[in-house]
Amino acid sequence: MPQDVYNKLMMLAKRRGFIYPSFEIYGGVAGFYDYGPLGSQLKHNIETIWRQFYLLKDSCVEIHTPTITLYEVLKASGHVEEFTDLTVECNKCKHAFKVEDLVKAGVSAEEAVQNGDVSCPDCGTTFTEAHPVNLMFSTYIGIGTGRPAFLRPETAQGIFTNFHLLYRYCREKLPFGVIQVGKGFRNEISPRQGTLRQREFAMAEAEVFFDPENKNHRNFPDVKDKILYLFDNEKEMKLSLKDAVDQGVINNQALAYYMYLTQDFLLTVGINPKKFRFRKHGGDELAHYARECWDAELLSERFGWVECVGIADRSAYDLTAHIDASHVDMYALRKFPTPKEITVKKVLPNMGKLGPLFKRKAGAIQKALEAMTTVPKHPLILTIDGQKISVPSECYEVVETIEKQVGERFVPHVIEPSYGIDRIIYFVLEHSFEEIQKKDEEYRVLHLDPRVAPLKVGVFPLISDERLVEQAMDIDRLLRDALLTTFYDEGGTIGRRYARMDEVGTPLCVTVDHQSLEDLTVTVRDRDSTEQDRVPVDTLIAYLKKRLG
């Protein structure tokens, strides 16, 4: 059977130390992959460029939070109820499938099963019922009756639960963005797409907090005339950011700006612009938290268009949910031009009544009452530690006071660009892969951008003559001291050594030959053109750094 690009690439990736199936000596398990030495370096380079985009081009700040996340957080965020895939299980062969994977795009999964249109891809049995399965891995913190928890399905919640602290850190000014790069975990039903669908995968997410009355972005004017590649599920469009916002194709400046930042990032790391588009989510596809979402989709020879980045307007969904569940003040302040005197109604807890009635829970109830911004309805039901509690009206008093207010409180909105790093790594490899038929063998080249290439320079002596070897090793050391990642190789013909470097995407190779011993010059060979320059050793570092960008 002829091999497709995916097969060829995965064979190369394993043989040359990019990607290995995890736990292979024990038979492996679907949805888990390791990065080998070159894959790890490629991942590191892509994440470094991602950070440059979000920390420097956009002025976000970075945090790290635990991957194990308390039940309460994911209950409040809606993941416990909503983070599910509609699943079918085959009675005959016992295999389980996500219904979405078995129906054509645009067809309702529920209806397809009800109509008997979905059958087992392994044994042909028709499925008659489907049920939602939660995708989170659950665990307990501590032994015995430990606290229930999950491995986080997204890094975002770690940012939301710190909002009040980050707001203070960012001088209480909106907008500000917070990024997190780390693992996400999903117990995918039947992962069959290699590194594109894993059960533990690398995410890079930004949560950008906005005043809902002003979803403009300070960098928008600089990029407003740049062109976005858009697809609204019917037609492809090339629109400037400004036109897309003015025509209502994209809801606001901030969303359009982060779409552009995403496009710029993906093209920078080596995605083929002809295999890139933004696709708008239809109403029935939106995640439980999203109001509008655009996916950056990349085209794969085997898998078709695949979502690699989701850019969602999460509105006030998450912060509102965490305010309601934790009763912590996660509001922001919109300042008035001049302070105003306003009559406000406040809820004053009566601890004399709350204490004896609710004992240990009285403190939490007090906090919840003080945080209320509207006059409570009777009967007042509060949720404390997941338990619904009815609070009698004699436990609090509603008082009217005149207050000088410097501004009004509101729940910030969130725009979220969310990147799947492993998918991007796969597409950087697929889009840069070329196989050339040379006489009786296939010659493979990864045309990686020098900034993402795991190795920057191959260093060789032309032949294994002691004097050439010594000079080549000195040059290798010199380049490493200048922070260039090199690969020294003296094994096999020079043609084989170039081929080995081309196959892993090393942009340049330096060769020491007999002339080098006489005039201290070396050849520098370019991976893509195979052209060679003769360069003096004393200007070699500057020359290479210029070529590598």
Residues near ligand GAP (CB under 6 A) are 154, 156, 186, 188, 197-198, 201, 203, 205, 307-310, 416, 418, 420, 422-423
Query: What is the rounded distance in angstroms from the CA atom of residue 263 to the CA atom of residue 185?
Result: 25
Tokens of 109: 């999964």
Nearest distance from C-beta of residue 410 to ligand GAP, angstroms:
23
Of the candidates 152, 134, 139, 141, the residue with the CA atom closest to the CA atom of residue 73: 152
Judged by beta carbon, residue 308 or residue 457, the one nearer ligand GAP is: 308
C-beta separation of 244 from 256 below 8 A: yes
The dihedral region occupied by 442, where left means phi > 0, alpha psi between -120 and 50, and beta the remainder, is: beta
Judged by beta carbon, residue 136 or residue 347, the one nearer ligand GAP is: 136
Chain residue at closest Cβ approach to ligand GAP: 420
Query: What is the rounded distance in angstroms from the CA atom of residue 383 to the CA atom of residue 261?
Result: 41
Judged by beta carbon, residue 243 or residue 307, the one nearer ligand GAP is: 307
Bridge partners (DSSP) listed for residue 292: 313
Hey, is 130 helix, strand or coil? coil
Dihedral angle sign, alpha carbons of residues 160, 55, 416, 187:
negative
Nearest distance from C-beta of residue 208 to ligand GAP, angstroms:
13
Nearest distance from C-beta of residue 424 to ligand GAP, angstroms:
7
Judged by beta carbon, residue 205 or residue 513, the one nearer ligand GAP is: 205
Judged by beta carbon, residue 154 or residue 489, the one nearer ligand GAP is: 154
Give, rounded to a whole angstrom, the gap between the first and last alpha carbons of the chain.
41
Judged by beta carbon, residue 63 or residue 395, the one nearer ligand GAP is: 63
Nearest distance from C-beta of residue 158 to ligand GAP, angstroms:
11
Of the candidates 293, 332, 55, 315, the residue with the CA atom closest to the CA atom of residue 177: 55
Bridge partners (DSSP) listed for residue 310: 295, 418
Query: What is the rounded distance in angstroms from the CA atom of residue 113 to the CA atom of residue 120?
Result: 11
Q: Which residues neighbour 192 within 8 Å (Cβ) at sequence distance 6 or greater? A: 30, 101
Judged by beta carbon, residue 69 or residue 198, the one nearer ligand GAP is: 198
Bridge partners (DSSP) listed for residue 126: 119
Question: 22: number of CA atoms within 13 Å, CB side?
Answer: 13
Nearest distance from C-beta of residue 275 to ligand GAP, angstroms:
15
Nearest distance from C-beta of residue 308 to ligand GAP, angstroms:
5
Nearest distance from C-beta of residue 205 to ligand GAP, angstroms:
6
Nearest distance from C-beta of residue 124 to ligand GAP, angstroms:
27
Judged by beta carbon, residue 197 or residue 497, the one nearer ligand GAP is: 197
Cα–chain center distance at 490:
40
Judged by beta carbon, residue 312 or residue 524, the one nearer ligand GAP is: 312
Strand ranges, E, within 194-289: 200-210, 227-231, 236-240, 276-280
Judged by beta carbon, residue 176 or residue 427, the one nearer ligand GAP is: 427
Nearest distance from C-beta of residue 290 to ligand GAP, angstroms:
8
Query: What is the rounded distance in angstroms from the CA atom of residue 390 to the CA atom of residue 378?
Result: 9
Hey, is 344 helix, strand or coil? strand
Nearest distance from C-beta of residue 103 to ligand GAP, angstroms:
19
Q: In this structure, what are the phi and psi dihedrals at residue 422, rounded to the nearest 5 degrees?
A: -65, -35
C-beta separation of 181 from 204 below 8 A: yes
Nearest distance from C-beta of residue 61 to ligand GAP, angstroms:
18
Judged by beta carbon, residue 188 or residue 435, the one nearer ligand GAP is: 188
Pairing of strands 413-420, 200-210: antiparallel
Nearest distance from C-beta of residue 233 to ligand GAP, angstroms:
17
Tokens of 525: 């060979």
Pairing of strands 236-240, 227-231: antiparallel
The 10 Å CB-count burial string (b at 16+, else e) for 359-377 is eebbeebbebbebbeeeee
Judged by beta carbon, residue 308 or residue 479, the one nearer ligand GAP is: 308
